[in-house]
Structure 1
């Protein structure tokens, strides 16, 4: 029995033995001798159909070599990859064994991988931008916190000055009171001095009242600054935590991008020609 006839007999068995559902065809040098379509890949070939010039089968027969091609959807309505292997007997090519499987799932997988890669790259860009903004926010919070501390120091310095004003006011009030008493003792001669002394007392009392108001305002400002400082510290801590979490997320995104790229490469390798 010739090798070609043996292949013809084994063709339907080979089709069932393959891991994937595939079509199988056997030709001689000119025409198809057998054709077994796959459940999802039927090119409508019939026994006796002539080999088309430039086809996988014709090329394998003419050039005595294994031919692998990926055929686009536009040819037969479905994408597939086919292999043509020459049947050689006594040094002569007597025919060709052809197999083919659809690549529709692989194409969908590749498209999915490419979409996933694009989406991950987009997310990675936004993650990097968000990380930078979080870092900028942390730095700004740190600057605001330092500024609030400086304000507290300035308020403390202002309080010291205000205390000095209160002391001067107290002394002025005492001096004014003494001056009034001395003017009263002087009688008519001290009447003009009495008016000046009374004005000094009034000015001292007004200064004392203003100093108290300033103290109250400074205390309120100091309390507000303390609140701002505490909130700034909380914001800075949250920003630092956010920046850390974003960096961790970015590391995960990088791993996902590598996995998506590997998935895309795996899908593309199915359709590469040898």
Structure 2
């Protein structure tokens, strides 16, 4: 056995403990395993004396005389891991291989978590955008209803003015009718027909006055309702604006979370040390 290969066999168990992560270490000559030290979470069941398998990382590193890095999927040994094969060269000849491996199970879970987080954030972002559009539509509708309420208040004021005019005419008609009745009474039999007409005028003016009073009552109730609607619409508008602001803030938070998820994916990819 070459002196260099013997030295590697001596330091292999020390080298395993020097790694930051749990690491398996294997040492081979050109044909078989001379030593194998499994990691707590990564044991391929290799035994000293097992021959090198064609196409394995050890055989490849020896055949091609270069460092080989390969990620092994979970389907091969049930454990995903990254292996590094480094040819041991002495006097220009390859005498063996030093192989190390670390599990990528944690990195894969981290990557899967990052992907799930990204997908969840994308879905939440879609709902947030939809809520933002609905909040804008609600705010626009509130503006429209608020403007309509103001216009209704103006119309109620105009109607009240017309009603005042009707009541004034009614009062004057009543006074004229009363005067006509008095004049008809002075005229005696000659003014009897005129007295009937005057009485009807007084009766009509009283009826008109009563109707005007009822209209005023209805208008007052409508005005109260319009004021109530205006106040509620103002509250709704304020809530809509507040909601829109909060949604914008939520969108900003979602963007930061999406960036963090992307960074997690990049960290997982870097940690896997793929070739």
Partner of 1:146 in structure 2? 147
1:1-274 equivalent positions in 2, closer than 5 A: 2-274=3-275
The SS at the match of 2:272 is coil
Which consecutive segments of 4 or more residues in structure 1 shift more than 6 A? none
Q: Is the 8 A contact 2:115 2:265 kept in 1?
A: yes
Show structure 2 runs of 5+ residues with no match: none
Show structure 1 runs of 5+ residues with no match: none
1:54 Cα deviation from its structure 2 partner:
0.8
Q: What CA distance in whole angstroms lies between the structure 1 residues aligned with 2:119 and 2:274?
A: 26
1:272 Cα deviation from its structure 2 partner:
4.7
The SS at the match of 1:270 is helix
1:66 Cα deviation from its structure 2 partner:
1.1
Q: What CA distance in whole angstroms lies between the structure 2 residues aligned with 1:153 and 1:246?
A: 36
User: Alpha carbon RMSD of aligned pairs, Å?
Assistant: 1.1
The SS at the match of 1:33 is strand
Q: What CA distance in whole angstroms lies between the structure 1 residues aligned with 2:138 and 2:94?
A: 75
Q: What CA distance in whole angstroms lies between the structure 2 residues aligned with 1:148 and 1:65?
A: 83
Query: What's the TM-score, normalizing by structure 2?
Result: 0.97
Q: What CA distance in whole angstroms lies between the structure 2 residues aligned with 1:203 and 1:170?
A: 11
1:210 Cα deviation from its structure 2 partner:
0.3
Q: What CA distance in whole angstroms lies between the structure 1 residues aligned with 2:155 and 2:93?
A: 102
Cα displacement string for residues 1-36 of structure 1 (whole angstroms, at most 9, x for unaligned residues): 621111111100000111111100011111111110
Q: What CA distance in whole angstroms lies between the structure 1 residues aligned with 2:178 and 2:60?
A: 125
Cα displacement string for residues 189-224 of structure 1 (whole angstroms, at most 9, x for unaligned residues): 111111111111000000000000101111111111
Q: What CA distance in whole angstroms lies between the structure 2 residues aligned with 1:128 and 1:269?
A: 33
1:271 Cα deviation from its structure 2 partner:
2.9
1:116 Cα deviation from its structure 2 partner:
1.0
Cα displacement string for residues 42-74 of structure 1 (whole angstroms, at most 9, x for unaligned residues): 101111111111111111111111111111111
The SS at the match of 1:46 is coil
Q: Is the 8 A contact 2:73 2:81 kept in 1?
A: yes
Q: What CA distance in whole angstroms lies between the structure 1 residues aligned with 2:93 and 2:233?
A: 87
1:125 Cα deviation from its structure 2 partner:
1.0
Q: What CA distance in whole angstroms lies between the structure 2 residues aligned with 1:209 and 1:55?
A: 107
Q: What CA distance in whole angstroms lies between the structure 2 residues aligned with 1:272 and 1:225?
A: 70
Q: What CA distance in whole angstroms lies between the structure 2 residues aligned with 1:65 and 1:248?
A: 53
Instruction: Count residues in correspondence.
Output: 274
1:136 Cα deviation from its structure 2 partner:
1.3
